[in-house]
Chain A
Amino acid sequence: MIQIKNVNFYYKDFHALTDINMQIPDKAVTAFIGPSGCGKSTLLRLINRMNDLIDGTRLTGNILVEGQDIYDKKVEVEELRKKVGMVFQKPNPFPKTIFENVAYGLRVQGMKNESEIKDRVEDAIKKAALWSEVERILNNNATNLSGGQQQRLCIARCLAVEPHVILMDEPASALDPISTAKIEELVLDLKSKYTIVIVTHNMQQALRISDNTAFFYLGELVEYNNTRDIFHNPAQEKTKNYVTGQFG
């Protein structure tokens, strides 16, 4: 479970997130929706501390992953990121072979046994539903794959590390409809084993794949409920206007 308690976040003087409180359940898909600039990606990136890389940011409140306060001084950020994986908006495979892309996270952990690495890589690519497409070309450069394949490769790369949580930042927004469908299918397939948080601009996508949905607006969490209620029976007027396409 991920607990977000009284979180406020600032980029220099800009107050990006205001008093966010929410609990994200295990082994389910939670969608963050809202118009651009509402803070949904910012909150996502707080969960694996990617915002640490940006200068001039400030956080108050606590974020707990599996009971551990991830901003505690004792927490090593590298260890956290092994537990909380991330898939980015734009497919970003390394300009290395398909095999080495997936093996990267294992090598980061210092794994040396090549046969074990091989097994883990194969396993991860299979889980990402990419195996049949790449099993014969594992030594080809990953950048030659199509965009959709690259994104599934990035998911495989993330899975190889065996994270507990997977953060997805609009993972299908740069892809065509068929590739998008494959990613969505994959997400549904993965949720039995992983806690998935997905940021999306596409409301139909949130409706199709998520169990719970959080609607953000201007840095505030407006409404957070199970997905069906958010879309069919929203409690807030703003949520209703957004999900029915009246703004955003």
Chain B
Amino acid sequence: MKAITKQKIVFSILKVMSFMVIAILFLIIGFIFVKGIGVINWGFISKMPEEGMLKGGILPAIVGTLCLIGGSMLFAFPIGVFSGIYINEFLKDGPLKRFMRLMTDNLAGIPSIVFGLFGMALFVNKLKFGDSILAGSLTLGILALPVIIRTTEEALRSVDDLHRQASYALGASKLYTIKKVVLPIALPNIITGLILAIGRVSGETAPILFTVAAYFLPKLPHSLFEQAMALPYHLYVLATSGTDIEKAKPMAFGTALILITIVLICNLLANLIRAKFKKK
């Protein structure tokens, strides 16, 4: 076979494969949209669930998920960013740095259900937080840590060393240089990491299963020590264990649509910030 024909065939295969990925994404979003849009109205996102969750809205699940996002980020963002700064700016290249990176990657590879069990053992039982927003937030926070550490590290690494040198050459200390030069340059990329972490956290079901999620709790939470409903778990409940699964289906798709929308908005925000950063 001629080399050029061979090349054309390979290129066509690659093209079909990559279009398939996009097609799957559109298929999922389209499917959820078509099935779910019917129940979406103002009441759906502003009311309590009613009549065995077959009527009314999903407000407590939305609020619960937003609380979990806020709580987990409050905990994970500072710790993750500080770890990233430590690994990239203070550790010399060597075994310790490699070890820290490896451990971060390992943490990212742990199945989320294991985080759930760990969260239950430590936060719910040992520390006696009970099934609560606090326990759920901390568990989700740990899950989000590797994403934040890694993006922070990458963001810092992409800061041109010439900027650091210029700062040192003007008599600035390392800490001053990080604070006034390195972090401002890296910030947009660090925030991108934050938003990706939010996207990840908002969709997780397993870590909240044993730590916070309520099956049915038609009220808004008032403290960190209360249980709460959450979108991914609510979706699971509607799809598998409601009073009438067939009747609950539209509600389930509506919930899925809201969840997807939140995640997509996060990704969109991440891309906007990145684009704005690149333009500068």
Which residue numbers of A lie inside 8 Å of B, CB to CB?
Answer: 48, 50, 53, 55, 78-79, 81-82, 85-86, 88, 90, 92-96, 104-105, 107-109, 141, 143, 154, 157-158, 161
Contacts and interface: CB of A to CB of B under 8 A. Distances in A.
A155 B162 CA distance: 15
Interface in B17-60: none
By Cβ-Cβ distance, the 7 closest A-B pairs, closest first, are A92-B162, A105-B170, A82-B171, A86-B169, A81-B171, A108-B172, A78-B171
Contacts of B261: none
Give the interface SS of chain B, mostly helix, strand, loop or mixed. helix
A104 B162 contact: no
B185 interface: yes
Given A55-B93, A81-B171, A105-B170, A92 B160 contact: yes
A53 B181 contact: no
A92 B159 CA distance: 12
Given A95-B185, A104-B172, 14 more contacts: A50-B168, A78-B172, A81-B171, A82-B171, A85-B170, A92-B160, A92-B162, A92-B165, A94-B166, A96-B184, A104-B170, A107-B180, A108-B171, A143-B280
Nearest to A143: B280
B171 A50 contact: no
Interface residues of B, number: 20
B163 A92 contact: yes
A81 B280 contact: no
B243 interface: no
Nearest to B185: A95
Interface string B170-211: 111100100011001100000000000000000000000000
A110 B77 CA distance: 30
A157 B170 contact: yes
Contacts of B168: 50, 53, 81
B189 to A, nearest CB: 13
Contacts of A158: 169-170
A157 B167 CA distance: 10
Contacts of A53: 165, 168
B163 A94 contact: yes
Contacts of B173: 78
B176 A108 contact: yes
B276 interface: no
Contacts of B8: none
B15 interface: no
B90 to A, nearest CB: 13
| From B165, B166, B180, residue with most partner A Cβ within 10 Å | B166
